[in-house]
Amino acid sequence: MLSDMTLLKVLRDKNLDFTVHGFRSTFRDWVADTTDYPAEVAEAALAHTIADKTVAAYKRTAFLEKRKVLMDAWGAYVTAL
């Protein structure tokens, strides 16, 4: 796991004009545009919380197995570029 500060340091050291949030946004767009993973799995991978308190009260899964497969696919995608 990398913190946002670690990624920010890499960007600054390389004099790149990108934001750390851009990495998260790129991941979310990739999931939506090129995969069949449910939005809930992508949101869990981004550690987003559920705003609807009723839905949050009943959702008991963290989608760990599905997130593992999703992140393997993401890793293959970004390393193939």
> Is residue 11 scored above 70 in pLDDT?
yes
Segments making up each domain of the chain, as ranges:
4-80
CA distance to 45, 51, 65, 69, per residue, from 7 (Å) = 17, 27, 26, 23
Q: Give CA–CA dist 66/9, Å, rounded.
A: 30
pLDDT tens column, 12-65: 999 998 888 888 899 999 999 999 999 999 999 999 999 999 999 998 899 999
The pLDDT of residue 19? 83
- Torsion angle, alpha carbons of 22, 27, 33, 34, to 10: 140
Global confidence as pTM: 0.79
The three-state (H, E, C) secondary structure of 5-19, written as one string? HHHHHHHHHCCCCCC
